[in-house]
Amino acid sequence: MIGRVSTMFLTRSLHIAIICSFVVPASAHAENVIQAAIKNATTPAHRMKSDEKNWWQERHESKSIEAKKNTWDIIFLGDSITHSWETAGKKTWNKYYRKRNALNLGFSGDRTEHVLWRLDNGEFEDVQPKVVVLMIGTNNTGHRKDPPKAIAAGVEKIIERISTKSPTTKILLLAIFPRSEKVSDPQRKNNDRTNALIKQLAKKDGVTYLDINERFLLPDGTLSKEIMPDLLHPKQKGYAIWAEAIEPSLRSLLAEDG
């Protein structure tokens, strides 16, 4: 009887050992997920179609040509929130930037890897602006649920690329704007955690970090549809807030004061 119990115990132990040998610890799995996300966020990628030209390719080609036609003082670089300076924010753009040699390189739907690809493929060739206003990452949160470490790694790679291509360019790095109505929303929290990481990038030479997010929010942290109707993209009032909030920093970086 004792022999049978011992045999059963050894057999069960062997089964457990075999199973455990195939189980990846939770911490290791989480780290693998983060590393895979970092690779996605930092590897340049385009959004062109293989069978036909789409709006993204057309805009990229047009902006690459436009970038080479002038000596730009300011370049805004980002996703749809930046792209929409041309629509919802046009009135404010004309007021603040039209006479300042400013170029809009915002592309709706872009994530960090798409901005990297655009910088490597024509939009930043022989372009040396005085200042780049950079905000990117909310689509990494919204489209793919990238962890903050991955988004921050993508932002850092963009900064490195800009600095390599144009060492004299100063970068005004903006905190990713708030999204979703409540502070507790997972997408809001993901952006906030990312902002805590990219804030550290201001330690790099030529990088100024600015968080203007509170200007869009009510005192309790709620994001109002009066500012962002879809709780993501500003309307005209939001673009006015944006421009007014960054103006002191922008003027200083452009050496316009005095």
Tell me which residue of 143, 149, 230 sits closest to 195, measured CA to CA. 149
pLDDT computed for residue 12 by the predictor = 56
Phi and psi at residue 126, in whole multiples of 5°?
A: 55, 30
pLDDT of residue 10 exceeding 80, the answer is no
The terminus-to-terminus CA distance of the chain in angstroms comes to 96
Instruction: Name residue, tokens 């005095």.
Output: 258
pLDDT of residue 16 exceeding 60, the answer is no
pLDDT in tens, 162-181: 999 999 999 999 999 999 99
CATH of segment(s) 53-253: 3.40.50.1110
pLDDT computed for residue 23 by the predictor = 52
Confidence of residue 193 (pLDDT cuts 50, 70, 90): very high
More confident call, 54 vs 6: 54
Q: Which two tokens stand for residue 162?
A: 């800009």
pLDDT computed for residue 52 by the predictor = 85
Active site residues: 80, 230, 233
Which secondary structure element, helix H or strand E, spans residue 134, and what is its range?
Answer: strand 131-135
pLDDT in tens, 85-120: 999 999 999 999 999 999 999 999 999 999 999 999
pLDDT computed for residue 88 by the predictor = 97
Rounded CA gap, 60 and 116, in Å? 12
Q: Where are the domains of the chain?
A: 53-253
Rounded CA gap, 62 and 118, in Å? 12
Residue 43 near residue 113 (C-beta atoms within 8 A): yes
Find the mean pLDDT for residues 200-222: 96
pLDDT computed for residue 18 by the predictor = 47
pLDDT computed for residue 19 by the predictor = 46
pLDDT in tens, 25-53: 678 878 888 999 999 999 999 999 888 88
pLDDT in tens, 231-244: 999 999 999 999 99
Helix (H, G, I), strand (E, B) or coil at 226: coil
Q: Give start and end residues of each alpha helix (H) in 97-215.
A: 112-120, 138-144, 148-165, 186-198
pLDDT in tens, 50-90: 888 899 999 999 999 999 999 999 999 999 999 999 999 99
Residue 67 near residue 123 (C-beta atoms within 8 A): yes
